[in-house]
Structure 1
């Protein structure tokens, strides 16, 4: 059954000190089914934060790995695996079953993609040791495009699982490339539902927008989602924290309501 999740990255940011203790209060106000927990680099070496979150009684089906892991993987830096091991332990501790990974990321992006291809199997084995399904996300690219990279991963790992992000696809002008029934059924296990308001590869516009604030054709996208009988989860990631640190709960709830309407 579909669940609608909210990324903790939409709620706790630098603007409110990334204060994880705010999460239970937000959970009471959000009309959703649970959280996708974003891991931050500042949490490494502090298992207390993860234990604290685990003790809050929150529903956390999914964990988003710390984004710099993908950069370290691209650089061939062994520290990537230490960080990933921490993220897996964190996911297991909070009761998550699915991991979202930026397999490539940052300025290095996909410029050393052979390294990312080699790393995937090792990362998946670590995740499975902790009872987790690893999904690679269609992250924006500097050299190629997300769908081209997903297809290369599929060639190397025919049973691979993906998280698909609508904003990332729209940024590269390739949202319609996901409308492939065989590819979808084999690989898509999780969805990030975000809007994008710029043109193709407009780096100045790479903000994560609320549904309807950009130019993603959600009518067509959700029509295909329904056609596929998708029963996985949806995560909203739209940044919702004001410069003063206040969270726009109403705007997030509007997003959740729109998704419910699309999948009804």
Structure 2
């Protein structure tokens, strides 16, 4: 059964101090099926405490999003930087295994600097995959925004590593005006060969590569056509899960639970409609 998953990043962020303990208050109020836990770089000195906290909650956490800046070390290059990236990713993998995750998401590049030497990122992929697999995790590479374009990176990764697995993010794709590539026949290998094992569902309200407008919007708060998206994904036969990452808190850190639950309800309506259309 497909699960509607909420990213913990939708609940905790800078305005509420990234206080992971707030999850105990917020999560039981949400009408979703589970959570994708996202690791922050400021938490490395609290890993053991956070892990104990998460396991004590009994939350269903099938996916972990590794800390986003790990591969910036790879982009900078050099053995010392590579060792640091591996050290940090190892911490993320151990944490993911401990909290019961099955998949781990990685930003193999991360924004404006991390694909400036993509040959480094390309070479590092099998190292990270092997590390993830040692912890019983499936590694998923996200189509993260970058200076070049994420789809060309995916294609190059696929050519080198034909069994690679991805997570497709709607906002990240639309930022580069690449959402329509998901529907294009020349990219049908993505779903025909089962390379996309997860979807991040976020709306986007900005323009092409609009670096000043990267806010993660909830479903139907931007300009993405989600009716088309869910219908197409259903048509491909995808039966996996969807993580919703749209920000649920305001500038004071207060979380609007009702808005998040309304989003999950709309997502289920889209999925139901897609099932009827494709049935």
Does residue 125 of structure 2 align to residue 88 of structure 1? no
Question: Aligned partners of 1:108 and 1:215: how far apart in 2?
Answer: 27
Question: Aligned partners of 1:42 and 1:174: how far apart in 2?
Answer: 32
Question: Aligned partners of 2:71 and 2:111: how far apart in 1?
Answer: 8
Cα 1:175/1:106, change in 2 over 3 Å: closer
Per-residue deviation, 1:99: 0.6
Question: Aligned partners of 2:218 and 2:261: how far apart in 1?
Answer: 10
Per-residue deviation, 1:198: 1.2
Residue in structure 2 matched with residue 48 of structure 1 by the alignment: 49
Per-residue deviation, 1:231: 1.0
Question: Aligned partners of 2:128 and 2:45: how far apart in 1?
Answer: 20
Bigger Cα displacement from structure 2, 101-110 vs 30-39: 101-110
Contact 2:5 2:32 (C-alpha < 8 Å) held by counterparts: yes
Contact 1:68 1:106 (C-alpha < 8 Å) held by counterparts: no
Residue in structure 2 matched with residue 34 of structure 1 by the alignment: 34
Question: Aligned partners of 1:49 and 1:28: how far apart in 2?
Answer: 18
Q: How does 1:1-264 map to 2 (within 5 A)?
A: 1-46=1-46, 47-76=48-77, 77=81, 78-142=83-147, 144-179=148-183, 180-186=187-193, 187-264=195-272
Contact 2:112 2:146 (C-alpha < 8 Å) held by counterparts: no
Question: Unaligned 5+ residue runs, structure 2?
Answer: 273-279
Question: Aligned partners of 2:159 and 2:41: how far apart in 1?
Answer: 31
TM-score for the superposition, normalised by structure 2: 0.92
Question: Aligned partners of 1:251 and 1:71: how far apart in 2?
Answer: 34
Tell me how large the CA RMSD over aligned residues is.
1.1
TM-score for the superposition, normalised by structure 1: 0.97
Q: Matched residue of 1:191: which SS?
A: strand
The size of the alignment, in residue pairs, is: 263
Deviations 1:205-227 (A, max 9, x none): 21111111111111211111110
Deviations 1:103-149 (A, max 9, x none): 0014313111000000000000000000000000000111x211111
Deviations 1:31-51 (A, max 9, x none): 000110000112213312112
Contact 2:54 2:99 (C-alpha < 8 Å) held by counterparts: yes
Contact 1:181 1:228 (C-alpha < 8 Å) held by counterparts: no
Question: Aligned partners of 1:50 and 1:40: how far apart in 2?
Answer: 13
Question: Aligned partners of 1:89 and 1:150: how far apart in 2?
Answer: 26
User: Could you list the runs of 4 or more consecutive aligned residues of structure 1 that deviate by over 2 angstroms after TM superposition?
Assistant: none
Bigger Cα displacement from structure 2, 92-101 vs 240-249: 240-249
